[in-house]
Structure 1
Amino acid sequence: MKLSRLAAAASLLVALVAPAMAQSDAGAPDAKLPVVASFSILGDLVKNVGGDRVAVSTLVGADGDAHVFQPAPADAKKVAAAKVVFVNGLGFEGWMERLAKSSGTKAAIVVASKGVEARDMEEEGHDHADDHAKGDGHDHDHDKQAHAGHDHGATDPHAWQSVGNAEIYVANIRDGLIAADPAGKASYEANAAAYLSKLQALDAEIKAAVARIPADKRRVITSHDAFGYFEGAYGLEFIAPQGVSTESEASAKDVARIIRQIKAEKIPAVFMENISDPRLIKRIADETGAKIGGTVFSDALSDDKGPAATYIDMMQNNIREFSAALSS
């Protein structure tokens, strides 16, 4: 009797386990699509488009600086396991090609910035150099000033700082996910459409906030030149001692010129960036009397408990900080 009960229990166990094993052996058809995003801001955009169908791993996490990132073996494993790898492009991830090659990944590489009109720092940097060489007497040709001349022909990669460009990212992400997972086409299209509506509202919110800032106060000092696309889209003017990469060093000449400009134009505030060493901005604030307006987020989100846990949160945080400091 006991034996028959044991046999029955064993049969039941086999009946319960076998389908799960078969599903696993078949490749788990209900498993999420493994994808990798190069940095936290892009990872958030991918999550919004991918929804429940994707499992997103991010290489450069919250408050991380992709300019100086050094991939670890664990990152190569993530890339190797991925079906799709999303990158910003525009020279932002100088380490990605080596990482992808060393990982042996077969993943599709999707450049999220494809179709964006990029800022050409070579043209801006040369104009800046020429102005000073000619001794034309201008202390500030703002778009070509200290923040533009450091990067020797680099393209500005920070395209996400314009919400209009983020909309292009979303379309590229949607198309990349559909190519990798055609069965999810309807889901990806619906998610992208819903998120694009939120981005359009965000774009309008930022434009309205900038319009409320007095025109003669729409100048911002930040650590490195990460807000050029924001400037082009919304009309705030950004000046930075470092170039488009945090790897570049701010020269004493550039810092001195910015200090003179802040004093001459009575620029009211300077801003910390979450990824940058605050000492340079503190020095500029001390020497000019400009107040430190708060922390803004340029190249990375905050952690989940911070004020910039998502892309939309980040952009709202930044315009709040700019508005509060420049409107007072």
Structure 2
Amino acid sequence: MKFEVQSVKVGLAGAVMLAAMSQAAFADENRMKVATTFTVLADMARNVAGDAADVVSITKPGAEIHGYEPTPQDLVRASDADLILWNGLNLERWFEQFIRVLGDIPSATLSDGIQEIPIAEGAYEGLPNPHAWMGLGNAQVYIDNIVAAFSAQDPANAEVYAANGAAYKQQLIDTLEPLREQIATIPEDQRWLVTCEGAFSYLARDFDMKELYLWPMNTSRMGTPQQVRAVIDGVTQHSVPTVFCESTVNTAPAEQVARDTGALYGGVLYVDSLSQEGGPVPTYLDLLRVTSETVAEGLTNGLNIQ
């Protein structure tokens, strides 16, 4: 693996430099230092941390997480952490080797305790869909797991973490419940969520939607003629009004499905990564809100032009 070669290049000779550089990743040495595998988890963790802990993301905004290859700079961001948070469910296939290189740093798996949805087809058939943070109920489990991990590592601030977690869960509910109610007004037989990757199974379950996608997981085979044909047939058979695609992949296959079926291309959904500050989804709450709004508005507009 590329990561193996790069991590060896850091070497023992660079250990002192690495440790010194890592201090810059965290704002205050007196606070607990937390690293997360990707930006969505980092933002969730920051909302729980408040001013009691510093949180960084190993990967940057806009990164495609599934096939990510860590670099020495990623080691820098994580090497001084007191705690590392990761998703699990086979999402970060690079993480186990990554943490072995870092050494003995405590970690917590944030998807522990969620009700898993299995992947229905492809090379990962039967394994749990890893995008569990996209469900509102699951998001509350993630927050509880963050609170528990923070409190175990930093018990002096346990009450702060518990209060921040409770307030954050209420923010999520207040933001998403109106959007769930809006989607519920769409006729049930046309309440389909058609996307590129099958990354929205938990959102579809929470919004009482049926799901159709071009490929089940981001791999080397995405948007093949067979995948496109199967979704064209499904969209036609069920009179699906709108097709979407996520932000970190090529949208051309979904746009082709829309052209060939007469469905509306409803735009970009967000799932694996936040945007830069000032972008469309700089926070996890924005990611859920924008994605849900795009689905609700896209389906409504698609029905209006059918």
1:224–1:241 CA contact under 8 A, matched in 2 = yes
The separation in 1 between residues aligned to 2:58 and 2:77, in whole angstroms, is 8
Cα separation, partners in 2 of 1:246 and 1:206, compared to 1, 3 Å: farther
2:197–2:245 CA contact under 8 A, matched in 1 = no
Q: State which drifts further: 200-209 or 95-104.
A: 200-209
Match of 2:112 among 97, 111, 114: 114
1:47–1:56 CA contact under 8 A, matched in 2 = yes
| Corresponding residue number in structure 2 for 1:217 | 190
TM-score, structure 1 normalization: 0.79
| Corresponding residue number in structure 2 for 1:146 | none
Aligned-residue offset at 1:94: 0.5
SS of alignment partner, residue 67 of structure 1: coil
1:34–1:81 CA contact under 8 A, matched in 2 = yes
Q: State which drifts further: 196-205 or 297-306.
A: 196-205
Matched, 1:89 2:91: no
| Corresponding residue number in structure 2 for 1:51 | 50
Superimposed CA distance per residue, residues 63-108 of structure 1 (whole angstroms, 9 cap, x where no aligned partner): 211102110011122222100000001111110010011122x321
2:176–2:288 CA contact under 8 A, matched in 1 = no
1:76–1:100 CA contact under 8 A, matched in 2 = no
SS of alignment partner, residue 58 of structure 2: strand
The separation in 2 between residues aligned to 1:153 and 1:211, in whole angstroms, is 29
Matched, 1:290 2:263: yes
The separation in 1 between residues aligned to 2:118 and 2:208, in whole angstroms, is 18
2:179–2:296 CA contact under 8 A, matched in 1 = no
Structure holding more helix per residue: 1
Percentage of matched positions with identical amino acids: 28
1:164–1:203 CA contact under 8 A, matched in 2 = no
1:272–1:294 CA contact under 8 A, matched in 2 = yes
Cα separation, partners in 2 of 1:29 and 1:88, compared to 1, 3 Å: closer
| Corresponding residue number in structure 2 for 1:325 | 298
Q: State which drifts further: 180-189 or 298-307.
A: 298-307
What amino acid is aligned across from residue 279 of structure 2 in structure 1? G
The separation in 2 between residues aligned to 1:212 and 1:313, in whole angstroms, is 23
2:28–2:54 CA contact under 8 A, matched in 1 = no
SS of alignment partner, residue 223 of structure 1: strand
| Corresponding residue number in structure 2 for 1:98 | 97
Instruction: Count residues with an aligned counterpart.
Output: 275
**Aligned counterparts, 1:1-328, within 5 A:** 31-104=30-103, 106-121=104-119, 124-125=120-121, 149-328=122-301
2:42–2:55 CA contact under 8 A, matched in 1 = yes
The separation in 2 between residues aligned to 1:80 and 1:315, in whole angstroms, is 30
Cα separation, partners in 2 of 1:114 and 1:247, compared to 1, 3 Å: farther
1:89–1:111 CA contact under 8 A, matched in 2 = yes
2:33–2:54 CA contact under 8 A, matched in 1 = yes
Which contiguous aligned blocks of 4+ residues in structure 1 show a shift greater than 6 angstroms?
Answer: none
The separation in 1 between residues aligned to 2:124 and 2:227, in whole angstroms, is 13
Aligned-residue offset at 1:250: 4.2
The separation in 1 between residues aligned to 2:80 and 2:152, in whole angstroms, is 17
| Corresponding residue number in structure 1 for 2:16 | none
Computing the radius of gyration from Cα coordinates, the structure with the larger value is 1
Q: State which drifts further: 46-55 or 192-201.
A: 192-201
2:67–2:93 CA contact under 8 A, matched in 1 = no
SS of alignment partner, residue 107 of structure 1: coil
Cα separation, partners in 2 of 1:251 and 1:276, compared to 1, 3 Å: same
| Corresponding residue number in structure 2 for 1:128 | none
The separation in 2 between residues aligned to 1:272 and 1:197, in whole angstroms, is 29
Superimposed CA distance per residue, residues 156-199 of structure 1 (whole angstroms, 9 cap, x where no aligned partner): 10001111101000011011111111111121111111111112
TM-score, structure 2 normalization: 0.84
